[in-house]
Structure 1
Amino acid sequence: MCGITGWVDFTRDLTRERHTTRAMTDTMACRGPDDEGCWSARHVALGHRRLAVIDVAGGRQPMRTPETGPDGEPVAVISYSGEVYNFRELREELVLHGHHFRTRSDTEVVLRAYLEWGSGFVGRLGGMYAFALWDNRTEELLLVRDRLGVKPLFHHPLDDGVLFGSEPKAILANPLATPRLDLDGLRDALALARVPGRTPLTGVYEVKPGHLVRVRRGRLTEERYWSLRTRPHHDDLDTTIATVRDLLTDTVDRQLVSDVPLCALLSGGLDSSALTAMAQRSLTAGRAGDAAGEVIRTFSVDFAGYTENFTPEPFRETPDAPYVAELVRHVGTDHHEILLDTAQLVDPAVRRRVLRAWDLPYGIGDHDPSLLLLFEAVRRRSTVALSGESADEVFGGYLWFHHPDAVRADTFPWHAVNATPVAEQATAFLDPALVKELALAEYVADTYREAVAEVEHLPGDDATERRMRVASHLNITRFLPMLLDRKDRMSMAVGLEVRVPFCDHRLVSYVYNAPWAMKTFDGREKSLLRAATEQWLPPSIVRRRKAPYPSTQDTGYDLAVNRELARIAADPASPAAPLLDRAALRAFLDRPLTGPYSMMQRSVHTETPVRLDAWLGEYGVRLDGLTG
């Protein structure tokens, strides 16, 4: 998986800046605990931290071509993160073109594919990846990110060059980068709707999913090589179900390839249960390389007392544990339950690790610390895990796909299911003057219109089909990135590679274009996925209604967050003080806590001041043009 970073500057000799390159690289140690490397030439420096998954001995980086130019330097050098799952087919094709390979790694395949096909080679890659490739012949850097944005890549343009890294911390380790927050950055942090390319840090951007950034002397340009396109769907229902099954089988087979221990994350829901069952079938059938014949290891998470004292919630009717147990019995996995308690979730050291993993004032309530602790426990036994992210976005699983008011609402569907507007919740504790200047509701409305304008429709689509296509597009391009970012930051903070088979771009494109009536043909959510996988699952799981990743129902968690709010409200010198309405905070804290807050309330309401205060203080962020 790995962490990458680097620096291009056409005004400096970067061979004299090795200490800075090393400092940037060292920030990525959590993403790559197995190896490290740096390479530099006059105007470029690349750093790499490696999590060894494929060709443990041979895949060291930055990887250089054996071919050199007149100056004796390699023709091209790459610092690469992720997995290209079709690398074996590409390797065979490149061998036919006369290429010779020194390793078994997919990194070398990517490097040689560039030499053979130029920058157009990115369209041939299938998988999750983010990499930087320097061409010494043209003095050009390519920054490339996978189609769905599974792997992160940030960049900070300079006057004549760029800083980049898998995480903002790598960029911020360079003295040329100063952490700053302005109005647009604060809007991005609060809106609960990711806009591709934006971050809360002024001047720091993400390479957009499905894009590459070219950095040349005096110019930085961005090119799109893939997007979610609308095409006619000609297959009937039976063919569509069979195609979904075939695509899933192929991508699970590919994603089981690993030279290190692999497992599956299991919630007892349809998505993770289907992946687990398919993975075990692949292992049993011998389609998973060296892992063939093994029993798959699985992990689930639960909270102390949660199942015994469970209270139904609007988005969750039942706890996970009984369904996990049934799937484990049905498939026969080597299962491990990770049991967490509130003391762990609110531990200041854990919450600081969460902040250092994000580097940004993002967060999804108690999900972040619980995921970090789950992944940490998984990492003790496995290096690679399969996870079910994106099934709900692709197959229409979230309840807001099926809520009439959410479907009709002129805003993001996940905003529409809240009684109180997200913009109102997110700004409840901010200074009134700042709230007025932020105009967060207008920002959300503008970003919503921009997102809807990207959606292509087919002639003859009726109103329902058009509306549901919009909902699907928004979920894949604006909601899914938040979950993929959460998964990536929390897993890579402990050096765990998490693979997401439902993000296979072939599957995403195919199901996206299936008519909504076909996606709900049996009157249920995720009808196509159920039909494609039900033969391998217990009936109870096939029938189970969608449930999100669990949140603790212990009010002790919310009391601990409220104590942090009280500390901030009492401290006029707190980092977030210039942004906050401390009287509003105190008034909120004067009300009794009658029950646990929902995940949404925690994410955008009670924890917003806590996140902002911790982030501003930890990173020394400068406030630009923010009044309060």
Structure 2
Amino acid sequence: MCGIHGLIQLDGRAVESQWLTAMGDITAHRGPDDEGQHIDGDCGIAMRRLSIIDLSGGHQPLSSADGQVWLVCNGEIYNYRELRQELIARGHSFKTHSDSEVLLQGYLAWGDAVVERLNGMFDFALWDARSRRLLIGRDPLGVKPLYVLQDGQRLGFATEAKALLKLPGVRAELNREALPDYLHLGYVPAPLSLFKGIRKLPPATLLSVQGGQVKEWRYWRLSDQNVRVDRTATREDWLARTREHLERAVRMQMVADVPIGAFLSGGVDSSAVVAYMAQQSSQPIRTYAIGFEGGAAETLYNELPFARQVSQLFGTEHHEIVVKPDVVGLLPKLLWHMDEPLADSAFITTYLVSQFARQDVKVILSGVGGDELFGGYRRYLGDHYAAKWGAIPGPLRRVASAVAGYLPADRHAKWLNVLRLAKGFIQTAELDSDSRYRHYVQVLGREGVKALLLDGAGTHDALGAALAAAPRSDALTRLLAVDAETQLPDDLLMLTDKMSMAVSLECRVPLLDPELVAMAASMPADIKIAGGQLKHVLKAALAEKLPQDILHRAKRGFGTPMGAWLKASLQPLLQGLLAPEVIRARGWLAPEPVQRLMAEHQAAKADHTDVLLALLNLEVWARLYLDGRDPASLADEFHAMLKR
């Protein structure tokens, strides 16, 4: 695990070492153990290393025996031992025991197609001096991020966008094209980034530069071409396959030469990971959980009793942290690490529990991805309940629709949250499946975005593009594929990577093992979600390992009671950072709609937690990157706002 970065001069000029050094210094948190670079005239590749496998011998860049091919790689390749044996049988010799070297030797054996043989999370850069060709790439699900800067003279790449800002002549500017999608979805979808001139390399994508020509292509995606829903297997077949793939994925991802642990919330996904880890280990597994101090809203997000129950069941070495986070002090620091703002408060929780776990371990396993694979979100039930809604007499439906607009909503109060969910369903029940899905995942509707922006809503629509490319053979698989193309890599996996690496902790996601993903994609919807039960097959497969009250308890996201905080302790910060004069000075948004959103949220007329957090974090990001403010000085300024 590390961070990679580099540069190729399209105009043939030589790369200077100090440029690579500056890029590495700004991302030293990703690799405090080691660093290295290789420059060959107009191309330079470099890395910062967090040593996990082959601690003494895995220095990068790695090179071929003749010194003609060089590699830097971030992440882990879990099937490296199998690939290593295959390559040795073909006559290849290895200098190290590093997992990354199989990518280098695999390239020598199979060329660009090596990526199709890798099971892992990675981004990499490979310089082939024989053909003067640079190849960079990203893993199939986008677990590891990769940013690209390209202008007429050069192409730079880095695991974090801030490294590209260290190149000569580059300065942070807002990408106005990305702003509509950010306000619509609460994150910036690939290939866009919020920095002008910098883009994300999408998941499962390779990019080559040779002779001044840049080529980019996808090598895999969930589509009609490679997703075949298997309707011949029985329910028992699927249960057996699910158990087999879970066991194999967790076993493969437990390989490390350093201490390893697991995040444990007491939910189905993290509990499944811990269950299979315990099965594989002769020693107690180290588990880490987080809870919040405070009132009713904080209690709603406190999952510690469930985590304790699972810990006791599997005899883990359990560690808990109960926090009342200094959100005002954390926001500048964490958004600096994030590179881009987002509306998912889970980045705060992920950072705090990562920081806690890093005191003991260097590698952590997480349950991220289980909802996307096995159907764990309420939005996947849209078609199921729409059919029931259609059976209600028309006059009653019309009355309910008229009343729904007046229902209060607040996700941090039990009954107001029920009304929020009912309101959302009723308002979308008559829509087609794609439109209903969009409504469920959006932070703000496209008409609302248009009203907010001074220059209109823009033309880019990442969600529309993902829906157009998604498979149509199975309605649920279609929605899961859209999630895998958008929210999963650009929100959940992005924050997981950035927040764990902020404290130099490697976070692995075994539920996103490529073979497990392929198996889940081939599973029919009525197996994944049977009779309206989310994650039906996963829960059934785990029935002999986990108690029923864990398998069937109410779902709670891994976030914070941010909506409640915005009404109370964080209200002065919200009012200060989104004041009309501040918004006018930026020149991006209309102040009046922002004030209306704040007023409606405060009065519980609507739950605007996500869009208000998106707007708040956008302003913090602008002060950090566009205004060049230091995170510590911003934290002091924000604390002063609370005292006024």
C-alpha distance in structure 2 between counterparts of 1:212 and 1:156, whole Å: 15
Secondary structure of the corresponding residue to residue 276 of structure 1: helix
Give the aligned residue type for 1:439: A
Percent identity, please: 32
Cα shift at 1:486:
1.1
Report what 1:137 is aligned to: 130
Q: Deviations over 1:87-122 (max 9, x none)?
A: 000000111111111211011111111111111111
Cα shift at 1:447:
3.7
C-alpha distance in structure 1 between counterparts of 2:41 and 2:443, whole Å: 55
Report what 2:347 is aligned to: 368
Report what 2:246 is aligned to: 248
Report what 1:290 is aligned to: none
Q: Deviations over 1:474-529 (max 9, x none)?
A: 22222212111111111111111110011111111111121111112364111111
Q: Which one of the candidate residues 472, 493, 516 is aligned to 2:525? A: 516
Give the aligned residue type for 1:617: R
Cα shift at 1:587:
6.0
Report what 2:542 is aligned to: 533
Distance change (3 Å), C-alpha of 1:176 and 1:470: same
Distance change (3 Å), C-alpha of 1:14 and 1:93: same
Report what 1:346 is aligned to: 328
C-alpha distance in structure 2 between counterparts of 1:593 and 1:232, whole Å: 46
C-alpha distance in structure 1 between counterparts of 2:154 and 2:528, whole Å: 46
Q: Deviations over 1:2-35 (max 9, x none)?
A: 00000000424435x1111110111221111111
1:175 aligns with 2:155: no
Q: Which one of the candidate residues 69, 78, 86 is aligned to 1:76? A: 69
Distance change (3 Å), C-alpha of 1:274 and 1:39: same
Q: Which one of the candidate residues 500, 505, 508 is aligned to 1:499? A: 508
1:298 aligns with 2:298: no
C-alpha distance in structure 2 between counterparts of 1:23 and 1:596, whole Å: 49
C-alpha distance in structure 1 between counterparts of 2:619 and 2:22, whole Å: 26
The TM-score normalised by the length of structure 2 is 0.84
Secondary structure of the corresponding residue to residue 130 of structure 2: coil
Cα shift at 1:305:
3.3
C-alpha distance in structure 1 between counterparts of 2:470 and 2:267, whole Å: 30
Q: Which one of the candidate residues 85, 100, 103 is aligned to 1:92? A: 85
Q: Deviations over 1:339-366 (max 9, x none)?
A: 1104x2222xx211111111113241x3
Q: How does 1:227-306 map to 2 (within 5 A)?
A: 227-228=221-222, 229-233=226-230, 234-283=232-281, 293-305=282-294
Distance change (3 Å), C-alpha of 1:82 and 1:413: farther
Equivalent residues of 2:188, 2:194 under 8 A apart? no
Decide which moves more: 209-218 or 555-564. Answer: 555-564
Q: Deviations over 1:515-560 (max 9, x none)?
A: 1111123641111111222211122112223321142278445434
Cα shift at 1:39:
1.6
Give the aligned residue type for 2:625: Y
Secondary structure of the corresponding residue to residue 148 of structure 2: strand
Distance change (3 Å), C-alpha of 1:565 and 1:508: same
Equivalent residues of 2:5, 2:23 under 8 A apart? yes
Q: Deviations over 1:371-392 (max 9, x none)?
A: 2122111111111111111110
C-alpha distance in structure 2 between counterparts of 1:126 and 1:79, whole Å: 17
C-alpha distance in structure 2 between counterparts of 1:590 and 1:307, whole Å: 22
C-alpha distance in structure 1 between counterparts of 2:203 and 2:111, whole Å: 20
Cα shift at 1:450:
2.1
Q: Deviations over 1:202-225 (max 9, x none)?
A: 221211111100111221111221
Report what 1:205 is aligned to: 199
C-alpha distance in structure 2 between counterparts of 1:374 and 1:243, whole Å: 32
Cα shift at 1:66:
2.8
Secondary structure of the corresponding residue to residue 94 of structure 1: helix
Cα shift at 1:452:
2.1
Q: Which one of the candidate residues 557, 561, 565 is aligned to 1:552? A: 561
Aligned length: 578
Secondary structure of the corresponding residue to residue 402 of structure 1: helix
Report what 1:626 is aligned to: none
Cα shift at 1:151:
0.5
Q: How does 1:52-71 map to 2 (within 5 A)?
A: 52-67=51-66
Q: Deviations over 1:403-431 (max 9, x none)?
A: 33568545465642489954456677x46
Q: Which one of the candidate residues 465, 469, 480 is aligned to 1:472? A: 480
Q: Which one of the candidate residues 119, 124, 129 is aligned to 2:112? A: 119
C-alpha distance in structure 1 between counterparts of 2:519 and 2:49, whole Å: 33
1:456 aligns with 2:453: no
C-alpha distance in structure 2 between counterparts of 1:449 and 1:552, whole Å: 30
Decide which moves more: 150-159 or 413-422. Answer: 413-422
Equivalent residues of 2:180, 2:449 under 8 A apart? no
Report what 1:542 is aligned to: 551
Distance change (3 Å), C-alpha of 1:426 and 1:562: farther
Q: Which one of the candidate residues 458, 482, 487 is aligned to 2:496? A: 487
1:9 aligns with 2:15: no
Distance change (3 Å), C-alpha of 1:135 and 1:575: farther
Distance change (3 Å), C-alpha of 1:539 and 1:138: same
Distance change (3 Å), C-alpha of 1:420 and 1:135: closer
C-alpha distance in structure 2 between counterparts of 1:389 and 1:619, whole Å: 29
Distance change (3 Å), C-alpha of 1:282 and 1:306: farther
Report what 1:71 is aligned to: none
Report what 2:102 is aligned to: 109
Distance change (3 Å), C-alpha of 1:133 and 1:249: same
Cα shift at 1:188:
3.0
Give the aligned residue type for 1:517: D
Secondary structure of the corresponding residue to residue 336 of structure 1: strand
C-alpha distance in structure 1 between counterparts of 2:298 and 2:147, whole Å: 43
Report what 2:456 is aligned to: 438
Equivalent residues of 1:160, 1:217 under 8 A apart? no
Secondary structure of the corresponding residue to residue 178 of structure 2: helix
C-alpha distance in structure 2 between counterparts of 1:271 and 1:53, whole Å: 24
Cα shift at 1:567:
2.2
Equivalent residues of 2:261, 2:361 under 8 A apart? yes
Task: Identify unmatched segments of 5+ residues in structure 2.
Answer: 387-424, 629-644
Report what 2:209 is aligned to: 215
Equivalent residues of 1:326, 1:538 under 8 A apart? no
C-alpha distance in structure 2 between counterparts of 1:513 and 1:362, whole Å: 31
C-alpha distance in structure 2 between counterparts of 1:180 and 1:280, whole Å: 48
Report what 2:408 is aligned to: none
C-alpha distance in structure 1 between counterparts of 2:39 and 2:435, whole Å: 45
Report what 1:416 is aligned to: 439
Report what 1:321 is aligned to: 304
Report what 1:613 is aligned to: 619
Give the aligned residue type for 1:211: T
Report what 1:289 is aligned to: none
1:31 aligns with 2:7: no
Decide which moves more: 271-280 or 322-331. Answer: 322-331
Secondary structure of the corresponding residue to residue 487 of structure 1: helix
Q: How does 1:566-605 map to 2 (within 5 A)?
A: 566-569=575-578, 572=581, 577-585=586-594, 593=602, 601-604=608-611
